[in-house]
Each structure stands twice: as structure tokens, then as C-alpha cells.
Amino acid sequence: MQQDEVAARVRQVIDATGVSAREFARRIVIDPSKLSRSLNGTRRFTAAELARIADIGGVDVGRLIGTTAGAAGEVTAGAAATLSNVRSPSPSRSPSPSPEGGRPLQIVRETVRLIAERGFHAVRVADIAAACHTSTAAIHYHFPGRDELLEAAVRWCMDEDTRRRAEATAGTRHAGDELRLLIELQTPHTEQQRRQWCVWLDLWAEAARSTTVGRLHVEYYRQWRGTVADVIRRGVGQGVFRPVDADGAALALTALIDGLASQVLATEPGLPGTGAPAMHDALIAHVDACLTAPVSG
């Protein structure tokens, strides 16, 4: 079947990159489970996914979908139509070399940066194209609509946040130190952290309106609260924290982080008692008062 042949070609591309399927999914900005189902034949690749796979793998899309019109049609008629419409770059703009990490990741990174600066609904596809030094056709080639681009931006932010936490806490054994480090990472001290929080605030609003983004939002917070709860459980076992309901404590702490961060961002920088240091101190005081076990003896 043509679908199996497409999956086999995609596997060859993944193997040639020398990275795991999970890392490849991160690079083409899709859920690893979607990639797995497509490779196993229980889900079809979309046109945009095939475009991103071709970009990252440095191959022609025709190699993935087949060299004949009939073969392309069996992938899905919509995929073939989309790919044929956007395969040629805009004649008004010369194509630029593919950036490090591939064009899809560049598009998503620039989208996130522009969302932080302007808000999602103020960002046009033309703005993203200009930031990437490419054409709007190239943007639509990888992400046909704003909804898909927003979903990719959300997923990239989630992956980056998770990766950053994992790298920062690797090797940390003391649960108290790890929890304080997690709080430090979530406090908007730097300009980069402030930009990241601005994106989160915009995405929260979209999550209330978009089913897809809402599902990603729920999944991200399930993982984030689970990480905090696991640290608290370990701390209870180490005698660092009081015996508490770890899930309830994680829910309260993550909600407090979100609430304080939003207040920091909504306040003019530099005002006394309202910045990131005050937020950090409040969170540490909460941990000390509610979680930290008293020193015996």
C-alpha cells in the first residue's frame, strides 16, 4: 500500500539523520505519538508534516510521496494539492539557505518571539516570513494555517521548557535543592524568561478558545504538576519535607507560581516589592512554611 511505502521512506529519512524518532518529532514540531502512529500505518502524514520531514531530511517531497501523480493521490488528495501549490518559492524573493535546525524550527522560533513581542493575534504570516527572510508561501508550505502554527508554537514552548528543566536538575539529589531550582527556573528574572512568560499568557488565552491548544495546555500542566509532585514525594521520603499530599501541594505551588508570575509581568518593572525577586522570595517562603520539615534536635 502507498501509505506503507511513504512510512518506509520517512523511516529512511529519520535513520539518515542519526537521531531518535522522538528527537526527529521535536525537530518537525509534532507530537511523538503522531509520528509513531504514522510510521506504524495507523495515521496518515499530513501535507505539512511531509513538507517538514523533507526539509529536515534534505530530500525532495516527491521522494516521500512517490514520483507519479497517482502515487501522490494515494497519500491523500489534499496533501498532493497542498504540496503542489506551495512547492515553488515566491518569484519575488530568492530562497535562503535552510537555517540550523531546519526551516520549520526557525519558523516556530520566530513565531514565538513575535508572539512575545506583539501577541498572537497581532502577528501576521507576512511578519513571520520577513523575520525568517523567506516568503509567505514557504511559511504556508510548512504550516498551512494559523491554527497549526499556533499548535506548533505551543508544542515547541512545552518541549523547550521541559528540556530546560531536565538539563538544569540533572544530577540533583536533594529534593529541597531541586524544588528551589524549579522555582528559580519559573521565576521571570531575565528578559528571556519574561518573553517566555508573555508567550504563556497569550497561549493560556488561546487555550480557552481552541480545543487543540487546550488539550496541549492540559497535557503540559499534567506533566509539570507531576514533576513537582514527584520532587515533593522524594523530599518526604528524604525527610526534607513534611508528610503532605504531594499532588495537592504541587497543584497549590504551581498555581501560586502562575499567579505571581502574571502579576510580575503586569507590573511596571522596577517598582519595589513587585518584581521577580519578591515573587521568588514569596515562593520560597511558601515552601518553607508549608513543606519544609522542621529540623529536629
Residue 85 has pLDDT above 50, yes or no: no
pTM for the structure as a whole: 0.75
| 246 or 144, greater pLDDT | 246
**CA distances from residue 213 to 114, 127, 146, 264 in whole angstroms, order as listed:** 18, 22, 12, 24
Measured between alpha carbons, how far is 36 from 63 in angstroms, rounded to an integer? 20
Contact criterion met (CB below 8 Å) for 200 and 161: no
Name the amino acid, one letter, at 213: V
Cβ neighbourhood burial of 170 (10 Å; 0-12, 13-18, 19+): exposed
> Phi-psi category of 175—alpha, beta or left, where left has phi over 0 and alpha has psi -120 to 50?
alpha
**CA distances from residue 44 to 74, 75, 151, 200 in whole angstroms, order as listed:** 10, 7, 18, 30
Averaged pLDDT score across all residues of the chain: 82
Q: What are the tens digits of pLDDT across the range 220-266?
A: 899 999 999 999 999 999 999 999 999 999 999 999 999 988 888 88
Q: What are the tens digits of pLDDT across the range 159-177?
A: 888 888 888 898 888 999 9
Residue whose entry in the numeric block shows the C-alpha cell 502524514: 45
Measured between alpha carbons, how far is 100 from 169 in angstroms, rounded to an integer? 27
Closest C-alpha to 216, from 143, 153, 259, 262: 153
* Percent of the chain whose pLDDT exceeds 70: 85
Measured between alpha carbons, how far is 221 from 151 in angstroms, rounded to an integer? 16
What is the reported pLDDT for 270?
Answer: 65
**CA distances from residue 282 to 183, 187, 224, 227, 251 in whole angstroms, order as listed:** 11, 11, 20, 21, 16
Please report the beta strands in 97-254, taking only residues with DSSP state E, as ranges in sequence order.
none
Measured between alpha carbons, how far is 241 from 288 in angstroms, rounded to an integer? 9
